[in-house]
Structure 1
Amino acid sequence: MTSSQPHSTGLDKKTSAILSYALGWLTGIVFLFLGKHDPDVKFHAAQSIIFFGAVSITNIALTIIGSLLGALGILFTLAGLALTVFTLVIWIMAMIQANNAAGARTELPVVGKLTAPYADRLATSVA
């Protein structure tokens, strides 16, 4: 299937790959199932789920721990802020990479090596 052919969503491969990151793990889940005929779109979707899911869980943990520590909680708040900035940078880079590669499979910068094996497994497990 070429990048100009629409998928089951009616979107081309490039647009589907970019939108896999648009709302983090939420659009990742959507495109994991809707992009089922293109392994590259499924890879982007799975990578989005893994990365943004891990960030969400980490942010929740930082918030809970920070709220329990009183004055020391400011350190966890600052760590959460740093994680948010890091996530924003990765989010923008992921969409730019998906655009530049015309939807072809690309690993996220920094975290791609860690998430790629799991993204592959997740992408191939959804029929």
Structure 2
Amino acid sequence: MNQPQSTGLDKKTSAILAYALGWLTGIIFLFVGKNDPDVKFHASQSIVFFGAVAVVNVVLSILGSLLGALGIIFSLAGLALGVFAVVIWIMAMVRANSTGGVRAELPIVGRFTAPYADRLANSVK
């Protein structure tokens, strides 16, 4: 059975909520879910993925506004990135739910965040 975290939430709920508002809830659960490396993994994965999406979207938006008519391409790329991010967001929450909060890696991002989440979880104990 899932153990309650320092927030009073079980692992599954904490893992799902780490994705709820993208990198913002990722930061919150990175520091609040102190006792569980799996919750820290989901939180760090949320920060890295959605933080990168936010930065790339801002860059595409700036380029789109500076380049006039050619900027439409960058604006459409930003729109496609937003749709992709929503699909990944839903997939991440569904996978966190179906695994019971146990690690479910996102493509590419999960491999990079796992060692850091483990180190962070071990340093807090």
TM-score by length of 2: 0.92
**Aligned residue identity for 1:120:** A
User: Gaps (5+ residues) in structure 2?
Assistant: none
Q: Tell me the number of residue pairs that the alignment of Structure 1 and Structure 2 aligns.
A: 121
1:23-46 deviation digits (Å, cap 9, x = unpaired): 000000000111121010000000
1:43-99 deviation digits (Å, cap 9, x = unpaired): 000000000000000000001111110111111110011001000000000000000
Corresponding position of 2:91: 93
TM-score by length of 1: 0.90
Corresponding position of 2:109: 115
**Aligned ranges for residues 75-94 of structure 1 at < 5 Å?**
75-94=73-92
Corresponding position of 1:105: 103
CA RMSD of aligned residues (A): 1.2
User: Gaps (5+ residues) in structure 1?
Assistant: none
Corresponding position of 1:10: 8
Report whether the alignment pairs 1:125 with 2:120.
yes
Report whether the alignment pairs 1:35 with 2:33.
yes
**Aligned residue identity for 2:80:** A
Whether the 8 Å contact between 2:41 and 2:114 is mirrored in structure 1 is yes
